[in-house]
Structure 1
Amino acid sequence: MKLKKKELLLVGLTLFSMFFGAGNLIFPPFLGEQAGQASWLAALGFILSAVGLPILGVIAVAKSNGLTHLATRVHPRFASIFTLFIYLSIGPCLAIPRTASTSYEMTIVPFVGQYATSLLQLIYSLVFFSVALYLALNPEKLSDRLGKVLCPLLLSLIMIIFLGCFFIDNQGLGVPTGSYSEGQFVQGFLDGYQTMDTIAALNFGIIIALNIRSKGITDSKEVVISTMKAGFIAGICLASVYIILIIIGSLSGSVNGYHMNGAQTLMAFVQYLFKDMGMVILGAIFFIACLNTCIGLICCCSEYFHELMPKISYRKWAFIFALVSMLISNIGLDMILKISVPILNLLYPLAIILIVLAFIDPWIHHYQYMYPITVSLTGLGSFLELLPIIGFDFSFLHKIPLFDYSLGWLLFSVIGILIGLLFRKRV
């Protein structure tokens, strides 16, 4: 039995909705504004890392029967610690609280201005997480709720802004500026890398598999194949929307000048096109995008911790994560960001190399130490990348190839693979 085309499309749209949050809205228009005439080159780099890596992550986890199984190839203890940190980082310790605080800044603050108070934010977060919790209580129904309703609504609102591009007086794209003044492809790749969707991809597979099984698909091989197909659909949607947002950003730069971030770029553009109504449209876009991501993350974290501690039900975990995230979004997000962002920067290269190893596994599984050696050296490389962030900046670090681009860990990964090839299993 296979998924019908309509069902597969809904599952793909659900995966897209889970990926597409506030960060995905902000980075592309800022890229377009800053890159100007070189937007197409920057867009290639951005799509490679912001679309290619996450979709490969979904496929890698599907092929490996889950993140825990994939990470166990390194070591069972590594799998436990790595997976735990992944879920906490993209869950209640960073990503989930950020969905509420970001949507509040874009949905409520522009309309209330100086009347924005901590009490108002508390009320907003209570409503936001109540809605997210209600929709997350039945994770197998996400394809009906996100895929059928929220995702089409989100895409429709984005298209309204995009269609407005055809009614502006385009004065030509500006010259690349800021971080995009040179090396546009590399900078685009790095900005896509910073969306952190590759880490989320390692977790979303479990929820997508649940939705596929809820359609009556019981064969494990068919679940994997359907997950991979859904990943490609989500990738096409992500790439298409990113291109639209990059075009919006590049045109905004030509009529509104330059801004400090992508949120300001979008705000200036919609106000230029639609006046006050533009802020209503943009607020709705941010609310839906953040809500979709919040729902997906609550589902993933609750499923994982329910498997870890089955005595606590999935629904209780969902309630716990919604409550904790609501509190953090109001009282401690800044401190959590200071702690969690360095941890994410440490975990991200490990996630990427695990995905790479999963794809080349048919050719390397005969080498018994390939996974532990490569992941260990990658971890060393990402730790060295972390040192300047936490205040230990040594001159020798900058001599590592690509270190100044936050990609110095790549050399360590390559060395790890080469050393791993020296240890073939005895037959």
Structure 2
Amino acid sequence: MKEGEKLMEKKISFSAYFFIGLMLFALFFGAGNLIFPAYLGQLSGTNVWIAILGFLVTGAGLPLLGVLAIGVSGSSDVQSLASRVHPVYGVVFAIALYLTIGPFFALPRTGSVSFEIGIAPFLGEGNHPIALFIFSVVFFGISLWLSLSPSKIVDRVGKYLTPALLIFLAVLIIAALVKPLGEQTEPLKDYAVSPFTTGFLEGYNTMDALASLVFGIIVINAIRASGAKSKRDIAFACLKSGLIAVGCLAVVYVFVAYIGSMSVTKLGLFDNGGPVLSGAASFYFGQLGKVLLAFIIALACLTTSIGLITACASYFQKLYPKIRYGAYVTIFSAFACLVANVGLANLIEFSVPVLMMIYPLTIVLILLTFLNPLFKGRRVVYVSTMVFTGVISLMEGAKAFNIPLGPIEIFFNTYVPFYQNSLGWATLALCGFIVGIIIAACTKPTVERAHNEVNV
């Protein structure tokens, strides 16, 4: 058996790791991965390097851990992984995750970002609402059509557009290094006080840690097709391919944030990162550069939109097969079209409370997956840790919604470390984990443990 495993290992060449890594990068990479580091750069200014380190933890590190969690656990999908807490929780968590990266936030954002970078810079301010509506109808109409009729066009656009976008960004970065837009300005808002933590929380907006639990299955299937069969080989292949993907993401994040940090004096301060990239492209390459960037990003967003629609429709059709796949595609496309019209800045603002609730739960689930052998898959540990985390997650969401919490807020501010930095969930998750371990040590295992130990 060991000799067979070694032979399987030899079949996976570096080129296979490399191309799977690029595929994963393309799955993660969308316009949202550009606008948030650019905006971070604008607000963090001279603190950009500390802020981007925090951003890299959640924007690059967590997606890598998410893919590895799927590979290590042997779970068939995110619902299966979350069902380690409880089957009902698995369904609820999967639905919340798919709706977040789908029609509620990430999907409509593909249209909003395309408009913000590709159309808005060429229009007068008063023309934005009607233009956004027309653009959204066209954009999501095309997405709907291509999602209903899978075509090689989507694969070809994704295959050539991602490298084209990266080449354009590389040229833009080199131009910014040779001829900076301006001087870095003083940090603003929370970036002046706690740049690392603020950058860490800003990384939530990429939603890539959520998406990694969906994309992980795609990566594992590609790895298996390359020859890996054993759990160990798949885990190592996930790690190597994942490092390539997040390495590319990290390079893009760092340099886009650097461009943003020098842009305020020349371009002004914006309420999102879209105009930063458009303005930088125009500054270095004129109208042609702005048009080219708009065209590439619009097509890149289109492929992302199609991928999200098909992923969400496929999951919900599997969950509730009485509704046809085509009906789900139509519903999600139409809903995303409507939501996109609230505008990019509003869409980002509305998404923050939801992300503050779901991200801690996602991070803790990923970490528990790696710690699973330590407590032998005992469900009580999963439940205890998630209950403690869930309490603080709900509070973080309420706080982001500006809902007054009164004495509860005062208590948590006083007694829960890191709560004031919106990281109190880490403290309570640790408490829940310890409580779960103690309960597991004092009680006998049940049949659920055997279920959790499968493929771990």
| TM-score normalised according to structure 1 size | 0.86
Q: Quote the residue 1:398 is aligned against.
A: 413
Distance 1:157 1:136, change over 3 A: farther
Matching of residues 272-287 of structure 1 within 5 Å: 272-287=283-298
Q: CA deviation at 1:242?
A: 0.6
Does structure 1 residue 193 correspond to structure 2 residue 204?
Answer: yes
In structure 2, the residue matched to 1:426 is 444
CA–CA separation in structure 2 for the residues paired with 1:273 and 1:118: 29
- With over 3 angstroms needed to count, the CA separation of the structure-2 counterparts of 1:285 and 1:42, relative to structure 1, is farther
Q: Are the structure 2 counterparts of residues 10 and 143 from structure 1 closer, same or farther at C-alpha, using a change threshold of 3 Å?
A: farther
* Matched residue type, 2:430: V
Aligned residues of 1:13 and 1:147 also touching (Cα < 8 A): no
> Could you tell me whether the CA contact under 8 Å between 2:180 and 2:262 is conserved in 1?
no
- Runs of 5+ unmatched residues, structure 2: 1-7, 446-456
Does the residue aligned with 2:400 lie in a helix, a strand or coil? coil
Unaligned runs of 5+ residues in structure 1 are none
Match of 2:333 among 322, 325, 329: 322
The one-letter code sitting in structure 2 at the alignment partner of 1:163 is I
Q: 1:106 to 1:257 in 2, by over 3 A?
A: closer
Give 1:218 shift.
Answer: 8.5
1:360 match: 371
C-alpha distance in 2 between matches for 1:126 and 1:223: 42
Task: Give the AA of the match of 2:41.
Answer: G
Indicate how the Cα distance of structure 1 residues 6 and 256 shifts in structure 2: closer, same or farther if over 3 A, else same.
same
Query: CA separation of 1:166/1:378 partners in 2, compared to 1, >3 Å: closer, same or farther?
Result: closer
Moved more, 269-278 or 197-206: 269-278
Q: Any conservation in 2 of the 1:36–1:173 contact (CA below 8 Å)?
A: yes
Corresponding residue of 2:20: 11
Match for 2:118 among 107, 117, 125?
107
Structure 1 position 352, deviation (Å): 0.7
Alpha-carbon separation, structure 1, partners of 2:152 and 2:242: 18
Q: Distance in 1 between the 2:57 and 2:286 partners?
A: 34
Cross-structure match for 1:407: 423
1:234-280 C-alpha deviation (Å, 9 max, x unpaired): 11110011112022123324655644432343343333222323422
Deviation of 1:220 after TM superposition, in Å, equals 7.3
Q: Is the alpha carbon distance of 1:48 and 1:389 closer, same or farther for their aligned partners in structure 2, counting shifts above 3 Å?
A: closer
Aligned to 1:247: 258
Distance 1:70 1:174, change over 3 A: same
Deviation at 1:5, TM superposition (A): 4.3
CA drift of 1:76 comes to 0.7
Partner of 2:5: none
How far apart are the structure 2 equivalents of 1:88 and 1:323? 14
**How far apart, CA to CA, are the structure 2 residues paired with 1:146 and 1:3?**
27
Q: TM-score, normalised by structure 2?
A: 0.81
What percentage of aligned pairs have identical amino acids?
38
Q: Tell me the distance in 2 between the aligned counterparts of 1:262 and 1:179.
A: 17
Question: Alignment partner for residue 28 of structure 1, among 33, 37, 48?
Answer: 37
**Cα RMSD for the two superposed structures:** 3.3
Whether the aligned pair in 2 keeps the contact of 1:67 and 1:83 (CA below 8 Å) is yes
1:116 is matched with 127
| Letter matched to residue 358 of structure 2 | L
Query: How many residues were matched structurally?
Result: 426
Is contact 1:28-1:242 (8 Å) kept?
A: yes
Instruction: Give the AA of the match of 1:414.
Output: L
Equivalent of residue 76 in structure 1, options 71, 87, 92:
87
Alignment of 1:22-421 (within 5 A): 22-64=31-73, 65=75, 66-113=77-124, 116=127, 120-133=131-144, 136=147, 144-145=155-156, 148-168=159-179, 172-209=183-220, 215=225, 219=229, 221=231, 226-253=237-264, 255-256=266-267, 258-310=269-321, 312=323, 314=325, 317-330=328-341, 341-365=352-376, 367-390=378-401, 391-394=403-406, 395-396=409-410, 397-399=412-414, 400-421=416-437
**1:38, 1:176 within 8 Å by CA — same for their partners in 2?**
yes
Structure 1 residue 33, shift from structure 2 partner: 3.2
CA separation in 1, counterparts of 2:347 and 2:42? 30
